[in-house]
Structure 1
């Protein structure tokens, strides 16, 4: 029943590192709200087909950056490119299908797992067959017996898997993950980590994952961005967390920030 459910990433000429092509590129992006500056001069790329982890203390602007990636909010200034096209060139609905997002609390709508999986296509006036729904569940490690379970009866780990499967229904090329394991027990956390790695490797989907778990950021991410006070303090391969180049990132890694 399994089938390839992702489109392959396309080429782009916009990059800050010649070793990879960017899925998302930021150029001088600022974001302010109610007179408060949240992001300052963010420039850099999330590499296509790779897992980039976003680390940094609370209030560093990580979630704001994630929301910019699929147009939930717009930058105050600067430019964002998705696979080489300016984000404004995409229709909002098309952009959010291509750039999916999964959240920490894995919100469920009332009703069955099948109802939750069907929602993305229902919003587009389409119908998800039970066979296809079962296939998406299989992709996240759940069998088809879950289809008609009430979503309120699922464990935290099971809800997160269903949330990810629901995001996959739109066949995204990019997945944004906001602290998706923060409230899970160790076993469920490990299962989600393995699931994300499997999806990335099997379908070449780009992942951008916010995490406060530095071990997770280092071991799961191919690349890591460390953000501090709305700025990108350091980026590179995730091994940078073992030997940061800047004093502020060294302090963060050693627990010097709340």
Structure 2
């Protein structure tokens, strides 16, 4: 899926070679080791200082950023929440991509799946941090990209909700034949859900293994 060769980004990353295949890839490592930087590079949010990244055999530099981000969608650790209500936040990605809006039933179903049982006209300023995180996850999953880049998607959730939401994310991706590249601080999440684990240490990446 992604092939990386001689990749460097400023003084943050130095990866001679790395392959990221389909399925569930979990990236672990200390804070500041370059995990989030890699996700941003895969999404073309930033460009490499040197080296190359290919997506499905094509250099990212040759791909339209708009087209790439329809297929490879990133959810940051502090995702954007837009003023207004839940409906507006769930529809806005479709408006950006000039796609037909989801139905009310689809939106309510997704809210239920991420354990956010609120009315669509609920103002977002009434939501807690964890509820906003779940709203952002629901928005991403409604868009159904081919690849999800998730940066600490459960950072604002308690342990019980973390497991249920990550389980949902993985289940939905597997069911839809989609892939996930996920940064997490949680070794439990990595051990439970990863097909492959990549460990970062001071800007270098090493494939550590896969779950059984």
TM-score normalised by structure 2 residue count: 0.89
Query: 2:183 — aligned with what?
Result: 210
On the 8 A contact 2:70/2:97 being kept in 1, the answer is no
Q: 1:106 and 1:69, CA in 2 relative to 1: closer, same or farther beyond 3 A?
A: same
How large is the RMSD of aligned CA atoms in angstroms?
2.0
Equivalent runs, 1:187-226 vs 2, <5 Å: 187-226=160-199
Q: 1:184 and 1:141, CA in 2 relative to 1: closer, same or farther beyond 3 A?
A: closer
On the 8 A contact 2:173/2:179 being kept in 1, the answer is yes
On the 8 A contact 1:104/1:179 being kept in 2, the answer is yes
> For 2:110 and 2:206, how far apart are their aligned partners in 1?
37
Instruction: Deviation per CA, 1:51-95: give whole Å up to 9, x if none.
Output: 111011111110100100110001111111112221122211111
Single out whichever of 96-105 and 173-182 deviates more from structure 2.
Answer: 96-105
> For 1:90 and 1:154, how far apart are their aligned partners in 2?
37
Single out whichever of 195-204 and 70-79 deviates more from structure 2.
Answer: 195-204
> For 1:212 and 1:94, how far apart are their aligned partners in 2?
30
> For 1:126 and 1:115, how far apart are their aligned partners in 2?
14
Deviation at 1:115, TM superposition (A): 0.3
Q: 1:59 and 1:42, CA in 2 relative to 1: closer, same or farther beyond 3 A?
A: farther
| Unmatched tracts of structure 2, length 5 or more | none
> For 1:172 and 1:93, how far apart are their aligned partners in 2?
12
Query: 1:29 — aligned with what?
Result: 7
- Of the two, which has the highest radius of gyration? 1
SS of aligned partner of 2:111: helix
Q: 1:135 and 1:86, CA in 2 relative to 1: closer, same or farther beyond 3 A?
A: farther
SS of aligned partner of 2:185: coil
Deviation at 1:181, TM superposition (A): 1.2
Query: 2:87 — aligned with what?
Result: 114
| Unmatched tracts of structure 1, length 5 or more | 1-22, 240-258
Name the count of aligned residue pairs: 211
On the 8 A contact 1:54/1:225 being kept in 2, the answer is yes
On the 8 A contact 1:118/1:127 being kept in 2, the answer is no
SS of aligned partner of 1:233: strand
SS of aligned partner of 1:146: coil
